[in-house]
Amino acid sequence: MNCYECRRVSGTTNPAEAVCSQCGAGLCSAHVRIEKREVHQPHGLGKSSADLPGRRIVCPVCERAEHSE
């Protein structure tokens, strides 16, 4: 599977490393958005994600849709 965002935005082909849990689009490391499942925290807390209860992977489009309210 290739990154859907790379194809859609720039027409390039990059191998996908993750899949959006919302729309199922393949995502490369540049386009993947990882969210904490429990709380919405701002970025840059310097905290490792290893001890978090869960994570959710979304694409930039789904992330924007969710935070547009």
Q: Does 23 bind Zn ion (CB under 5 A)?
A: yes
- Among 5, 26, 32, 35, which residue sits at the site for Zn ion (rule: CB under 5 A)? 5
Q: Does 59 bind Zn ion (CB under 5 A)?
A: yes
Measured in whole angstroms, the distance separating CA 42 from the mean position of its chain's CA atoms is: 15
C-alpha distances out from residue 55 to 11, 13, 14, 18, 34, Å: 29, 26, 23, 12, 7
Total number of residues binding Zn ion (CB under 5 A)? 13
Write out the residues near Zn ion by the rule CB under 5 A: 3, 5-6, 14, 20, 22-23, 25, 28, 30-31, 59, 62
